[in-house]
Amino acid sequence: MLTTQDIRIVKSTVPLLEAGGTAITDHFYQRMFNHNPELQDIFNMSNQHTGRQKLALFEAIAAYAKNIDNIAVLKHAVERIANKHTSFHIQPKDYDIVGHHLIETLRELLPEQFTEEVESAWTKAYGVLANVFIDREEQLYQDRENSKGGWRGKRAFAVVDKIQESELVTSFVFEPVDQQAVMDYQPGQYIGIELKPNTSNHIEIRQYSLSTAANGKQYRISVKREQGQIQGLMSNYLHDHIQVGDLLDLHPPAGDFYFIDKQQPVVLISAGVGVTPMQAILDTLVAQGYQQQVSYLHACENAKQHSFNSHTQSICQQHGWQHFTWYNQGVPAGDTLGENIAIGFMDFSQVSLPLSQGDFYLCGPLAFMDFAKQQLLNLDVSEERIHYEVFGPHANL
């Protein structure tokens, strides 16, 4: 239990944290991986290089310190982080390690300000937050273990199908080796995949959105080959080495981004491989005979990178749902554009949207989602009706 004095002291350190910025979490991670190198088998070390995870952790700690007298305002963030943690099978004992390195980081970076009083208040405050996560994560582990077809931790699955969806995206279909049922999930949720690529020194865990409706027997994910200056470890390994018949471990479905049935119009907005949760939502809407208007808006580079086009086209035609796509790079000379395809960036003035009602689900690169969200806000769509998923460490749009 935090005293008024603990709360006052933690809040008084907010300016110090803000002045330190991500240098604090940078130091923290370096320290932690030096002393506990085994954690490199849990964390995505590529996200360490890109700096996105350092920022996500820094923002979470700063938000906690600012709102320590009213942590109810952090409930959405807690839910998102706890879900993410469960896809790595984070355990209560891990919180002791993280807490230790966090306190030592503050001591090392702020030797003058980190008095006994500050140490005591921050140690207690960390303990309170850790318990919030530990409790929620245990509840999620139990819920999944107790649901039909559910499990806790890793479960062995076999690849039963591998399908090329477009130039860069390939789907993988998994069935459990034990041949038992698999738990249902909410459309929009993801699974954790754990394996040891021969291209990495570590075990790697990544999240992939389930890309079709739940069916109790199989899971399908659809993976984009990440070809930046440095080739993505897991995505390239899956594309190049994982074949039908191969085995890998999956963590149960998780995530706080999913379709919520309010019997209102639904607008699905994606770019690139952000299409995957939208496919799960679309297929679920079909399976449940959704009676409200659905709009499916997608942006990608060109026709070759347009995943799930014919599937989406046929569903939308059949149900009279709006389907519109933007190709950023245009089409080769001589090719004609389809009726519902435009060139350039996604532009909501080219479609008719249920602006005053309904929910808007977004997924794609951060810059795309920023751009799409801003357009929606300019059109007076209220913020609470805009939902989004980040394919990486979370960032606020």
Ligand X SMILES: Cc1cc2nc3c(=O)[nH]c(=O)nc-3n(C[C@H](O)[C@H](O)[C@H](O)COP(=O)(O)OP(=O)(O)OC[C@H]3O[C@@H](n4cnc5c(N)ncnc54)[C@H](O)[C@@H]3O)c2cc1C
User: Residue holding tokens 């980190």?
Assistant: 114
Does 269 bind ligand X (CB under 6 A)? Our answer is: no
Does 81 bind ligand X (CB under 6 A)? Our answer is: no
Residues 322/339, Cβ–Cβ less than 8 Å: no
Which among 371, 359, 362 has a CA at the least distance from the CA of 391? Answer: 362
Which does residue 80 bind out of ligand HEM, ligand X, none, counting CB within 5 to 8 angstroms by kind? ligand HEM
Which does residue 338 bind out of ligand X, ligand HEM, none, counting CB within 5 to 8 angstroms by kind? none
Nearer to ligand HEM, 98 or 213 (CB): 98
| Least separation in angstroms between CB 268 and ligand X | 14
Binding test (CB under 6 A) with ligand X, winner from 9, 61, 134, 234:
234
Which sign does the torsion angle of CA 363, 64, 50, 237 carry? negative
Binding test (CB under 6 A) with ligand X, winner from 88, 157, 185, 190:
190
Q: What is the token pair recorded at 282?
A: 């679309």
Residues 113/16, Cβ–Cβ less than 8 Å: yes
Which does residue 43 bind out of ligand X, ligand HEM, none, counting CB within 5 to 8 angstroms by kind? ligand HEM
For 256, how many CA atoms within 13 A lie in the half-sphere containing its CB?
17
Binding to ligand X by CB under 6 A, coded x per residue (else -) over 45-74, reads -x--xx------------------------
Helix (H) or strand (E) holding 298: strand 294-300
Binding to ligand HEM by CB under 6 A, coded x per residue (else -) over 52-81, reads -x--xx--xx------------------xx
Q: Any catalytic annotation for residue 204? A: no
Does 381 bind ligand HEM (CB under 6 A)? Our answer is: no
Q: What is the token pair recorded at 383?
A: 């913020």
DSSP letter at 337 equals P
| Least separation in angstroms between CB 85 and ligand HEM | 6
Cα–Cα distance, 97 to 142 (Å, whole number): 23
Q: How far is CA 58 from CA 29, 219, 361, in A?
A: 11, 34, 26
DSSP letter at 227 equals B
Cα–Cα distance, 276 to 307 (Å, whole number): 9
Binding to ligand X by CB under 6 A, coded x per residue (else -) over 271-310, reads --x--x----------------------------------
Which does residue 90 bind out of ligand HEM, ligand X, none, counting CB within 5 to 8 angstroms by kind? ligand HEM
Cα–Cα distance, 197 to 288 (Å, whole number): 38
Q: Any catalytic annotation for residue 117? A: no
Cα–Cα distance, 363 to 344 (Å, whole number): 18
Q: Which residues are near ligand X by CB under 6 A?
A: 44, 46, 49-50, 190, 206-209, 221-224, 226, 228-230, 232-236, 255, 273, 276, 389, 391-392
Q: Which residues are near ligand HEM by CB under 6 A?
A: 39, 42-44, 47, 53, 56-57, 60-61, 80-81, 84-85, 88, 90, 94-95, 98, 129-130, 133, 393-394
Positions marked catalytic: 95, 137
